[in-house]
Structure 1
Amino acid sequence: MARIPVAQRRRDFIEAAVEVISAHGIDGATTRRIAEQAKANVAMLHYCYDSKEDLFADVYEYVAGKYREVIEGSDSHTTLPEAAQAILRGVMECYLDSPSFTAATFELVSWARRQHGDRGIAVYDHAFETLRKALTEAAADDPVTPEVIDEIAYVLATLADGFAVNWLTFNDVAVARGQMEVNCSVLDAWLSSRLATAAAKPARRKRAAKA
């Protein structure tokens, strides 16, 4: 039988850890359960990782990478509202595609915030950094202030996280699909109002200067 490369084994253990954390929480995510989920033995897990902390560090990177893939996968050569809509929909689709990823993400962030405050914040920091960059690129032809970009990023995260909590609670695909459309409508209405306000402020300052 062909030997499985260590890199692939690590990937297997990361994905297995996500499933186990989702089902049993951090405290229940033992190396034995993770190894069983990966269809491997504990000795192989310890061969790939010196400790469970090392494995969890890779799980954090995996989670951050999933957000990065969704955000960077959106078309930056479009309008800011269109880019924001695409990112929101992409993140919600990611949650809908994998309840295990969704549950494990919330569990990991909460646990890390309690145990290692900086690591818990880091997952969000990485996602927000990528999100700000994507939104700024989309706004290149119609520049908005960094403060407005931050507000848009916050609203996107709030809508996506609220969707995730409802999805995990009720686990109803039909309801979740409807909530996705509601969220996109809310974002569209808020963006239209916020960008109109942002565009009007320079004009008012300009008229005041002439006076």
Structure 2
Amino acid sequence: MARMGADLRRQDFVEATVKVIAEHGVANATTRRIAAAAGCPLASLHYLFHTKEDLFYAVFETLFNLPQQALEHGPIGTTEAEAAAGLLRNLVHWFIAHPDSAAAQYDLFIWANRNAPEMAASIYAEALVSTQQAIERSVGYSVDQELLGVVSRLMVQLLDGLIIAWSAHRDDDRLRDETETACEALGMLVSSRLPRKKAARRTAS
């Protein structure tokens, strides 16, 4: 029971941190403010997270894992182009429904790049792996690894760019329109790369 209580309290602090960062930014996300937002004693926060960096990493993990759930709902058996576009669309729609998470993730990543670059690099690498796995799961077979790497990197970069732009203009309809343009561009890249890959394999055989 004690372990369950600690896990629940830990999640309370993580959720409070997301809200505080979204509202006040990382620079003003003090442990005192986070504890107040969670409705928990400050001593409990310091007991569960020895440093603010430990807390931020836990938040990073949560912000990374939650939107990945959107990747699990991509259509199965589609083409590579349709799978990549569908997954990007699902991710953007998840962030539209969770604006605090989008704001906190962006601010935290900027903070990590400056203060904890190894953490930022680790999160980015995990995002690429999860994206690659989601694409293969959607198409239902193993995709050429070189193509998979190119598509996954572009998909993550497009998502980051869309979210950054959205943080400035805050227009959901505009974000949806820009997402469709990004999906079209992503699909065109995949379609243009596939014929060359297949031709190369036929020549080699």
TM-score interval (norm. to shorter): 0.7 to 0.9
Amino acid at match of 1:125: A
Looking at structure 1, the residues matched to 8 and 177 of structure 2 have their Cα atoms a distance apart, in angstroms, of 37
State the match for 2:194 in structure 1: 195
**Percent identity of equivalent pairs:** 32
Q: Which moved more, 1:158-167 or 1:35-44?
A: 35-44
Looking at structure 2, the residues matched to 170 and 186 of structure 1 have their Cα atoms a distance apart, in angstroms, of 22
User: Aligned runs of 1:5-154 on 2, under 5 Å?
Assistant: 5-139=5-139, 141=141, 144-154=143-153
The secondary structure found in structure 2 opposite 1:27 is helix
Displacement of 1:113 in angstroms is: 2.1
Displacement of 1:205 in angstroms is: 4.8
Amino acid at match of 2:170: N
Displacement of 1:42 in angstroms is: 1.8
Displacement of 1:20 in angstroms is: 1.4
Looking at structure 2, the residues matched to 146 and 170 of structure 1 have their Cα atoms a distance apart, in angstroms, of 36
Q: Which moved more, 1:68-77 or 1:175-184?
A: 68-77
- Which one has the largest radius of gyration? 1
Amino acid at match of 1:93: H
Work out whether residues 109 and 121 of structure 1, in 8 Å CA contact, stay in contact via their aligned partners in 2: no
- Report the CA distance shift for 1:178/1:138 in structure 2 as closer, same or farther (over 3 A): closer
Displacement of 1:29 in angstroms is: 0.8
For normalisation by structure 1, the TM-score amounts to 0.84
For normalisation by structure 2, the TM-score amounts to 0.86
Higher relative contact order (CA 8 A, sep 6+): 2
- Map Cα deviations across residues 169-191 of structure 1 (whole Å, 9 max, x no partner): 10011211211222222222222
The secondary structure found in structure 1 opposite 2:28 is coil
Amino acid at match of 1:103: A
State the match for 2:180 in structure 1: 181
Amino acid at match of 2:173: A
Amino acid at match of 2:175: A
Amino acid at match of 1:176: L
Q: Unpaired segments of 5 or more residues in structure 1?
A: 207-211
Work out whether residues 132 and 152 of structure 2, in 8 Å CA contact, stay in contact via their aligned partners in 1: yes
Q: Unpaired segments of 5 or more residues in structure 2?
A: none
Looking at structure 2, the residues matched to 117 and 77 of structure 1 have their Cα atoms a distance apart, in angstroms, of 37
State the match for 2:154 in structure 1: 155
Amino acid at match of 1:61: E
State the match for 1:209 in structure 2: none
Q: Which moved more, 1:112-121 or 1:74-83?
A: 74-83
Amino acid at match of 2:16: A
Structural RMSD (CA): 2.2
